[in-house]
């Protein structure tokens, strides 16, 4: 079970990264929307697994790869926002969150007439 401190840091990073993706890194494709669904920080605050839900494109893994290539810049933007709240800015690792696709698939199987 996570400590209260880790939960707060997870929520803080999730909120700030969501804001960064919506405002600072507005993509060139207007129909593309990136949402940060979950963040898991290690207990020593050295790494953060960031799960992204991506809408508006077919090749979602390509978008995750492009975001991963810009990890340094994204971490810098995050560091500028939370530097007074945490001492260590964790290394970011981005993953595709496909839980919404899974839920949609189950919904389609349960209600095929939609």
Residue 32 · residue 56 · CB < 8 Å? yes
| Homologous superfamily in CATH for domain 4-110 | K homology (KH) domain (3.30.300.20)
How far apart CA 64 and CA 51 sit, in angstroms, is 10
Instruction: State the CB neighbour count (10 A cutoff) for residue 89.
Output: 18
Residue 45 · residue 10 · CB < 8 Å? no
pLDDT given for residue 12 in this prediction = 96
- What single-letter DSSP state applies at residue 113? T
* pLDDT tens digits, one per residue of 13-35: 999 999 998 888 776 566 788 89
* pLDDT tens digits, one per residue of 80-114: 999 999 988 999 999 998 777 677 778 888 888 76
Domain ranges of the chain: 4-110
Q: Rounded to two decimals, what is the model's pTM? A: 0.83
């Amino acid at each position: 079970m996570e400590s209260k401190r880790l939960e707060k840091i997870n929520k803080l990073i999730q909120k700030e990264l969501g804001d960064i993706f919506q405002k600072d890194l507005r993509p060139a494709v207007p129909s593309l929307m990136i949402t940060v669904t979950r963040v898991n920080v290690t207990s020593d605050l050295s790494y953060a697994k960031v799960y992204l839900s991506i809408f508006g494109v077919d090749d979602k893994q390509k978008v995750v790869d492009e975001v991963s290539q810009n990890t340094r810049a994204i971490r810098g933007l995050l560091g500028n926002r939370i530097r007074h709240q945490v001492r260590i800015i964790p290394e970011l690792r981005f993953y595709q969150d496909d839980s919404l696709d899974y839920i949609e698939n189950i919904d389609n199987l349960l209600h095929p007439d939609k």
